[in-house]
Amino acid sequence: MNELGSLRPSQLIFTFGVGSLVDLPKMSALVMGLDDWDTRYCKEIEEDRLVAAIQKRLGPQLNKLYMPPIKLDSMDNDVAAPAIGVPVAPFPRWMRCSLCDTLATVDSGVFKLLQDPYRPDRTEYVHQGCLKSKGNRPPSALSVRFLVACKEGHLTDFPWVNFVHKGKVPCKPASLSLREYGASGDASDIVVKCESCQSERRMADAFDEDFHFSCSGHHPHLRLVEPSCTEKAKTMLLGASNSWFPIALSALSIPRATDKLGKMVEEQWSELKDTEDEDELRLMRKRSQKFQSLIPLFSDFSDEDIWGAIELKKKGIGKAAAPAEDLKLPEWEAFSHPETVEPNKDFRLVRVDPPKGFEHYFEDTVRVERIREVRALMGFTRLESNADFAEATSLKDLRLTRLSRESPRWLPSSEVRGEGIFLRIREEVLLEWQKRDEVQQLQNEFLESHKAWRKLRNLEPGEGFPGIRLVLLHSLAHALMRQIVLDCGYTVCR
């Protein structure tokens, strides 16, 4: 296993997660499934509310969240350092010679992989036997731009041989080339040709509205084939925005403990959660190097007190978990009643007065000085985002492409810490606003657009409309973000 590039942990959740295509400096690669990941170099993230919600959809066997493996800076120049990272594989498997336009797979023997352990960004495939090459270095081979995918999340190489022969019995062996006639890169200017029988075809044919393939049922990130797929596969371009949509779930870390010891146990839960009984705790306090750093924190408490707090925490986790739809409810309660939540290193709320002149509009104004959010990647979709066929809160109905061959025991996750503002608009103000004629007219227009949008996707037109209040809150949120940009110099990134 060799290093090919670098990504931030959050990118491996929302942009280049399992099953997605990554554009590396010299080739395109597919992020492999969790079965190929090495969790020895992954840091575990604690967030029991999020784990409980995910278990509702993926099963009780899932009990851990891991950050993607991170390579230390000290390992950059150490050739003997272990290969730490996320596994990828070349995809699509078809490549084209940049000089002679020969089209072949990476395992056909036509192309050779050149690796540089000191410059992983230079790793590439080359066409060593290129007849047009005149220099000492063979020309680079480039990943082809065309793929085939279906709505069930399957992804496969474009069927070049069958396509160029238009469904007829292909030549054996078929020697293919892929040439571009023009600088636009348009599919109508790209021609695939069989050099054996001289058959050729323009790639524009692959994008005709009525043109489709039978899906092969291939999940390349899992090295798995599901031949029973009945969906029609469509041609898509490498790097297309609809090639991968993440299905992620997130939760804010809300403190539950109200006493000093309970808060300390919550904050150090990753070190204490595997403790079986009070005797083991006593032994840990005396001999475990892992516990040595925690001794000053718990010096004022007895073994019995600490074990009691650990048991209380375990009982809280073991209670029947709230359904995923209720993940936001405890967060809403905490923000609406900040005085009832004890602050800790990851959570601090301060109630403040509404801005001058806006007292009539806001019931609660809370300054969020510290907040931690944990996000977990549950799966993904292709061609259509999850919002195209299910409500955002209905996890059970999502058309989910899985991240591992078997039911996962862990999920890739990330955590972010930050700050924010919580505003609660008075109910009477909202009701008065909704009675306005122009607002009711606007709501009808949004409702009709919503029905048309769902009808195009074969969904029940009248369901799932969030109401005009969401439009108001969405607009207000964007206005506030823009104002913060002007006042503080932040960037509007989401």
pLDDT tens per residue, range 231-241: 999 999 998 99
pLDDT at 324: 45
Name the amino acid, one letter, at 63. N
Q: From 11, 88, 59, 40, select the one nearest 408 (Cα to Cα).
A: 59
Residue 463: domain span: 426-493
In a domain, 488, yes or no: yes
| Residue 267, pLDDT above cutoff 90 | no
For 371, phi then psi, to 5°, come to -155, 145
Q: In this predicted model, what pLDDT tens digit does every residue of 31-42 receive, in sequence order?
A: 999 999 999 889
| Residue 70, pLDDT above cutoff 70 | yes
pLDDT at 134: 84
| Residue 197, pLDDT above cutoff 80 | yes
In a domain, 486, yes or no: yes
282 sits in which H/E element: helix 278-287
| Over residues 341-350, mean pLDDT | 88
Helix, strand and coil content of the chain, in percent to the nearest 5, comes to: 30, 25, 45
* H-only helix segments in 218-277: 260-267, 269-272
How many domains would you assign to the chain? Answer: 1
pLDDT at 299: 63
pLDDT at 425: 94
pLDDT at 392: 42
pLDDT at 277: 72
More confident residue, 52 or 437: 437
In a domain, 443, yes or no: yes
| Residue 74, pLDDT above cutoff 80 | no
Bridge partners of 453, per DSSP, are none
Q: Are 100 and 132 in contact, with CB atoms under 8 Å apart?
A: yes
- Long-range CB contacts for residues 13-16, cutoff 8 Å, separation at least 24: 13/246, 13/248, 13/375, 13/376, 13/377, 13/412, 13/413, 13/414, 14/246, 14/248, 14/375, 14/377, 15/246
Helix (H, G, I), strand (E, B) or coil at 397: helix
| Residue 127, pLDDT above cutoff 70 | yes
Instruction: Out of 97-106, 214-223, 359-368, 479-488, pick the least confident.
Output: 479-488
Instruction: Out of 218-222, 284-288, 372-376, 413-417, pick the least confident.
Output: 284-288
| Over residues 248-258, mean pLDDT | 80
More confident residue, 172 or 139: 139
In a domain, 13, yes or no: no
In a domain, 442, yes or no: yes
Q: From 38, 27, 32, 11, select the one nearest 219 (Cα to Cα).
A: 32
Q: Are 406 and 36 in contact, with CB atoms under 8 Å apart?
A: no
pLDDT at 390: 44
Q: From 339, 418, 411, 348, select the one nearest 380 (Cα to Cα).
A: 411
pLDDT at 393: 46
Q: Which of 68-77, 171-180, 250-259, 278-287 has the largest mean confidence?
A: 171-180
In a domain, 432, yes or no: yes
Q: From 158, 154, 32, select the one nearest 96 (Cα to Cα).
A: 158
The structure tokens listed for 27 are: 């080739």
- Cα–Cα dist 379/400, whole Å: 6
Instruction: Out of 84-98, 167-181, 356-370, 429-443, pick the least confident.
Output: 167-181
| Over residues 448-456, mean pLDDT | 89
More confident residue, 261 or 330: 330
Instruction: Out of 310-324, 348-362, 394-408, pick the least confident.
Output: 310-324
Q: Are 339 and 380 in contact, with CB atoms under 8 Å apart?
A: no
In a domain, 67, yes or no: no
Question: Residue 89 — very low, low, confident or very high, per pLDDT cuts 50/70/90?
Answer: very high
Question: Residue 81 — very low, low, confident or very high, per pLDDT cuts 50/70/90?
Answer: low
pLDDT at 322: 44
In the predicted model, what is the mean pLDDT of the chain?
84
Q: List C-alpha distances in Å: 249 to 53, 252, 266.
A: 9, 11, 22
Provide the 8-state DSSP code for 344.
Answer: B
pLDDT at 490: 67
| Over residues 264-274, mean pLDDT | 69
More confident residue, 13 or 221: 221
Q: In this predicted model, what pLDDT tens digit does every residue of 356-373 receive, in sequence order?
A: 999 999 999 999 999 999
More confident residue, 391 or 262: 262
| Residue 146, pLDDT above cutoff 80 | yes
pLDDT at 236: 93
Q: Regarding beta strands 245-252 and 21-23, do their DSSP bridges make them parallel or antiparallel, or are they unpaired?
A: unpaired
| Over residues 341-363, mean pLDDT | 90
